[in-house]
Structure 1
Amino acid sequence: MLNILSILVGLLVLVLTMIGFIPFLGWLNWLTIPLGIVGLALGALSSHNMGRNLNIVLIIVCGIRLFVGGGIF
């Protein structure tokens, strides 16, 4: 059950991350990283790894996007 919740949070973060790739909407990644951490915590409590791994990848992608955009753009 926790893995399913983690995957659902990961899919929400994925949609918000895709929107955050639009120029001048990079600030949205500041919201998606904490949501990804919540999904990561749910996935860590689960016995399966898929939700946890999805959220780890999304957190890294959001972090790289923020680094490239200077934290704002």
Structure 2
Amino acid sequence: MAGFVNRENRVPYYQQLFQEGQKKHIRQWNQTARGRGMLRVYYGTFIITTAGSMWMMGRMVLGHKTWWGK
């Protein structure tokens, strides 16, 4: 618990980082490498689930109730 209390205050660093990003018109969630990495995972999951839903909707319209079989 002592490590948490005596930790370095990172607020001024991040405040400066995000204020510089506003000058360059960069979205807040896209300013750090960690944010960009999380967005890639989010977009990948979104694309895969949307494509899977569209695939199965098409199969259901054609009367097939499984992913690949007849």
**Normalising by the residue count of structure 1, what TM-score does the alignment of the two structures yield?**
0.31
Q: Which has the higher contact order (CA 8 A, sep 6+)?
A: 1
**Normalising by the residue count of structure 2, what TM-score does the alignment of the two structures yield?**
0.32
